[in-house]
Structure 1
Amino acid sequence: SDVAADEATWGGYDDAYVSSIGVPRSERAEAADVLGRTRYHHTWRWVIPESRAALERLAGAGVPMGVVSNASGQIASMLARGVAQVGAGEHVEMRVIVDSHVVGVAKPDPAIFDHALPAFAEFEPDRIAYVGDSVTMDIAASVAAGLHPILLDPYDDHAGADFERIASLHDIADELA
């Protein structure tokens, strides 16, 4: 997710993915096309256990949290299946869950945060950390919204960047411990 990358389409990701897993050069275009045709938002359901555990640690430390996601109308229901929900419940408590499809605005447009910030009204925006995994979508949008951007960069892809980076959500929980 380079700042100069075109994240409006998945083409670059598909090409890089099929190349990285060893698809022969002569078959990459077809493999990337197949990968692109099989992507469906309801198939993105795997919960990263380490992230779930870190969210539990942060909630246990009293950190108020929310989710702002470029999604397809399903993020709240998918999170409720094993990660989080708005308010108290079976999983990690969030103050708000914002789905770009539902609110009609998507990152990198900083206006998406207008739907979440009222849930954190007691904080100045620059005191609100926004953690995301995309330089183009998350870092750019959170900077434009006046938030404190943090890139989830587990593979150290953006060493030397001029914004804060973490390898895991546990890094934040460790700082609070």
Structure 2
Amino acid sequence: MQHVTVSGDAGAAKPDAKVFRTACSKLQLQPSQVVYVGDRLQTDAEAAITAGLHGIWLDRRDAASVASVPRIRTLTELAPLLTSWCGG
């Protein structure tokens, strides 16, 4: 399922939890059922986790060896990470 939520729809912008929760509501999913992948550590991945989602940092620049959230360097790393979370 795909959906786009813009800050104008939510009445808030990242990193405000309201924008993440609005997106989840429009998807008819609980935040704990949603994975958010973003290329900004604090604004995207950490903010998603604060809002109750699963946040993943897309660190294309390989800027950190350790992160406070799950980190991938390319989108090709996403599927294996999700598979490992689901026990597949």
Bucket of the pairwise TM-score, normalised by the shorter protein: 0.7 to 0.9
Contact preservation (8 Å) 2:36, 2:54: yes
How big is the shift at 1:171? 1.1
Residue 174 of structure 1, CA deviation: 4.0
Q: Give SS of 1:162's match.
A: coil
The residue aligned with 1:171 is 77
- Matched residues in 2 for 1:132 and 1:151: separation? 5
Query: How far apart are the structure 2 equivalents of 1:127 and 1:101?
Result: 23
Equivalent-residue separation in structure 1 for 2:70 and 2:28 (angstroms): 21
TM-score (norm 2): 0.76
How many residue pairs get aligned? The number is: 82
- CA deviation profile, 1:68-90 (whole Å, cap 9, x unmatched): xxxxxxxxxxxxxxxxxxxxxxx
Q: Partner letter of residue 18 of structure 2?
A: A
Q: How far off its partner does 1:170 sit?
A: 1.6
Q: Which residue is 2:55 aligned to? A: 149
- The within-5 A match list for 1:73-88 is none
Match of 2:10 in 1: 103
Identity fraction in percent: 34
For structure 1, the 5+ residue unaligned runs are: 1-63, 65-93
CA distance in 2 between counterparts of 1:113 and 1:146 reads 9
What SS class does the counterpart of residue 21 from structure 2 fall into?
helix
Distance in 2, matches of 1:128 and 1:167, equals: 20
Question: Does the 8 Å CA contact 2:24/2:34 hold for their aligned counterparts?
Answer: no
Task: Name the aligned partner's letter for residue 130 of structure 1.
Answer: Y
* TM-score w.r.t. length of structure 1: 0.41
Whichever residue aligns with residue 106 of structure 1, its letter is: A
The CA RMSD over aligned residues, in Å, is 2.0
